[in-house]
Amino acid sequence: MPQLANALAVGGESPPILPHMGELIFGLVIFAILYVLIAKYVVPRLESMYAERTAAIEGGIAKAEQAQTEAAAALAEYRSQLAEARGEAQRIREEARAEGAAIMAEMRERAQSEASRITAAAQQQIQAERQQAVVQLRAEVGSMATMLASKIVGESLEDHARSSGVIDRFLAELEASPDGSSGVRGRV
């Protein structure tokens, strides 16, 4: 400090650190002008850029949240559709099983009715063949009985009406007896 005091005393001028009053005023005016220009043009521009940036970031976050919500909704819809598809597949399988069982039951019923029809036709055929055999046997037995009776009696039984009556009576007695033996022997 002593040197500062010597410098002031020697030159009579103001210390070098303190500026001149004109420079100070000029500096303050330039500073004020720069402050106004920056405050009027630069700061609003910076604030608008900051607001745009903030809006873009917030919009991006909102879009991301919306996309995440939509993705969650799509996932939930996909899962519900998958569950519905599985349920539909199960229902179709059950319908197919029921339809298969119905077809099997119908086929069994058709087979049983066909078997019954075939059995009935076979029984009718057997009955017809039995009737034919009985008629044929009657004719043969009748002719043999007539021939045998004519040999035993010793007279001809060729008279058709008479022989027919004897044959019918013989066969009726033969059918009526439970053991198949007839009382014809005693009569003939």
pLDDT tens column, 65-108: 999 999 999 999 999 999 999 999 999 999 999 999 999 999 99
Residue 15, pLDDT > 70, answer no
Whether 38 is covered by a domain: the verdict is: yes
Under a CB-based contact definition with an 8 Å cutoff, are residues 188 and 153 in contact? yes
> What is the mean pLDDT of the segment spanning 108-134?
91
pLDDT value, residue 175: 78
Whether 11 is covered by a domain: the verdict is: no
> What is the mean pLDDT of the segment spanning 104-123?
92
Query: What mean pLDDT, rounded, does the chain reach?
Result: 82
**Cα–Cα dist 11/14, whole Å:** 8
Residue 36, pLDDT > 90, answer yes
Whether 14 is covered by a domain: the verdict is: no
Helix (H/G/I), strand (E/B), else coil: 183: coil
Whether 1 is covered by a domain: the verdict is: no
- The residue among 141, 132, 136, 131 whose CA lies nearest residue 164 is 141
The separation between CA 184 and the C-alpha centre of its own chain, rounded to angstroms, equals 80
pLDDT value, residue 186: 47
Confidence of residue 160 (pLDDT cuts 50, 70, 90): low
Whether 134 is covered by a domain: the verdict is: yes
Which residues span the domain enclosing 178? 19-187
Whether 13 is covered by a domain: the verdict is: no
Q: What domain count does the chain have?
A: 1
Confidence of residue 39 (pLDDT cuts 50, 70, 90): very high
Whether 8 is covered by a domain: the verdict is: no
